[in-house]
A and B are shown apart, each in its own frame.
Chain A
Amino acid sequence: MNDMPERSGEIRHRALRLLMALIPGLAHLRQGHTHAGLSLLGLALSMITVSIFANERIQATFTAGRLDYWVALLTLAVTLGLTWVVSGVSSRHRLDARVGGSQWAIAWLGFKQNRVAMLGLYLMIALYLATLLGPFLTGYEPSVIGDIAATRHLPPSVEHLMGTDKFGRDVFTRVLYGARISLSIGFIAVTISITLGTAIGAVSGYFGGAVDTVLMRLVDTLISFPRLVLLITVIALFEPSLLIVIVVLGFTLWPSTARIVRGEVLSLREREFILAARALGLNSPRIILRHIVPNVLGPVIVAATLGLGNIILIEAGLSYLGFSVPLPTPTWGNIINDGREAMLQAWWVTTFPGLAIVITVVAFNLVGDGLRDALDPRLRT
């Protein structure tokens, strides 16, 4: 009789633990980590909402035989699974970076406290998720032309969130699929240009002398061309295609990174630990790769994030002029160009893709600024 409260307490405790295991983020909320808890919970809920609303399309995955459906399904499953795993693991082992944490853990802590930067990060994650989940978020196809007479230039409504274009295609769907091109071109091109820039900057700064002179004159020459002019001049030599655009972007945008890295390396080169490495008889490639590059990674990551925003703007400009991925593949730039002639009757076709560009670039710039504050030890107190 008198062990009833104890037992009910235990049941309550067990029920709570079960709930916490079932609902991601609940454990964080109970521990007072409102921020982390709410974001995990929100992420899981939005994924579940998507799977309920896109039920038919998810089933179609198995019959449609299309890669983007499979990618979307995988993204859905992995994201949902990750929220549980992350929620379970991180609620039990919360790392305390203030005590003996690594450089990166300290930087993450600084970044987390920057609310504007976190907003940018959330936006960025949402954008990438929306891109990957594309086919499940819309009921239309991006390039299929239906009954033009009935669906041409419809204003934004619940059915067509961003209206329809001159061929009666849903603009929201096209913007969503266009994000794929913009974000993936940006990502790959930045990877190429950052890798090249880091390598060339490190070599130039470390060896100095004639190597440095030659490489830096090359950098000066490339930087003298206005970016877009250089890009369209080179692209004009080829037929524009996805591959050409990525390669040309990657191989023309590295000089600014090379300059940043070279500057950092010049000051690193004189530091004691590099002298020590040399005295130990390590060869140059090893010193550069193991001792120099890790120390310039901070500014490089910042340059990459800010560069991503920039490249998205540049790609939009290129595809606006028609020098990027050819039609009918939608990109943000060519949707805007498509809507240009009918701008007066259908303002929505040009307006919304532009807003998508602005939001994306704002997100990358916010994250980039936040990373700079978090990674630059000179700014840290």
Chain B
Amino acid sequence: MTSYVARRLLQAVPLLFGVLTLVFIFMHVAPGDPTALYMRPDVDPAVLEQMRRNWGLDQPLYIQYFRWIASFLTGDFGFSLTQNRPVSDILLERVPNTLILSGTSLLLIFAIGIAIGIVQAVRQYSTMDNVLTVGALFIYSMPSFWLGLMLILIFAYKVHQLDWWPEFLKFPASGVTSTNYDLFGAGQKLGDRIRHLVLPSIALGVSSAASVARYMRSSMLEVIRQDYIRTARAKGVPERSVILKHALKNALLPIITLLGLYLPFLFSGAVLVEYVFSWPGMGRTIVDAIYQRDYPTVMATSFIFAALVVVANLIADILYALVDPRIRYE
């Protein structure tokens, strides 16, 4: 097991360097350099030149490259051109929000997807199975940002016109917390946060849940056909525990690999969903930074996104090896 983990770690390192190199290339293609922040009529061009020299921007490219990598690896992502503070400060504030949103979505995706997949597999070719398959196809084909807008339209606005609609099913349209959040008690604070999470995490997760359901269905069907399941049934194990105990464990194995696969997809969606729900996460940050041509922030955020994906893949692989011993000795 240790050697497997070590091997996977060693594979992740060059990947991170690849990501860094790519971001460095983007950074150099981008117009302007860090001194753009100080480029004003009242600043002498000679001063700018001096700044360039101080920051090492006059050095050969490869020296800049290694310095840049060293600074990125130590968490120094440069200075934001518009917010007048280090990019790392901005990211420290924003990354947790994205992780909360994506994490909630991920939970939702797997919980809903696995449950639906099991139901479909157990009742293969029933009306229920067909309805769910068609429904999944439509949901899978929906743009997440549009779904988000529709959810806002219905559950944040239109339901207020209905008298009989229960109060707890009306959700806020944007933000992480309400404006009077600071006045709440601890329990209320948590509730407020959860209420704000509902719509964005559904918008973000529902399409992936549809595709998890699809994988789960076929994985479950494959397992159900195996001999050991027939044995379990033959010795009189109740159907419920045949499915939920004997079959589920093995059917879940291939689903774990999806965990790593869905994260980049989820982050892509997060860029749009955060924009729709004014959710102050990394997606919102990168979009705003592009509007304002704040390249250091853009590049650092896109690096963090990629680094998170690499780490998540690593975790998914290790998890898979933990639950499936066959992988370790491959």
Contact = CB atoms under 8 A, between A and B. Distances in A.
Interface in A284-317: 309, 313, 316-317
Interface stretch (A31-39, A155-163, A225-233): A225-233
Contacts of B15: 217, 220-221, 224
Contact of B264 (A218, A227, A316): A227
B257 to A, nearest CB: 14
Given A224-B313, A316-B145, 14 more contacts: A221-B22, A225-B305, A228-B269, A228-B271, A229-B267, A229-B268, A229-B301, A313-B143, A320-B143, A321-B287, A347-B153, A358-B141, A358-B142, A365-B140
Nearest to B21: A221
A198 interface: no
A229 B286 contact: yes
Interface string A225-246: 1111110111011000000000
A280 interface: no
B305 A226 contact: yes
Contacts of B267: 226, 228-229
B149 interface: yes
B181 interface: no
Interface of B: 14-15, 18-19, 21-22, 26, 29-31, 137-138, 140-147, 149-150, 152-153, 157, 264-272, 275, 286-287, 290-291, 293, 295, 298-299, 301-302, 305-306, 309-310, 313
Contacts of A263: none
A73 interface: no
B146 A336 contact: yes
B231 to A, nearest CB: 28
Size bin of chain A's contact surface:
35 or more
Contacts of B26: 233-234, 237
A320 B145 contact: yes
Q: Which 10 A-B pairs give the minimum distances between C-beta atoms?
A: A221-B18, A354-B146, A361-B141, A226-B267, A228-B268, A226-B268, A226-B264, A236-B290, A233-B302, A224-B306
A240 to B, nearest CB: 10
A351 B150 contact: yes
A321 B145 CA distance: 10
B271 A224 contact: no
A343 B149 contact: yes
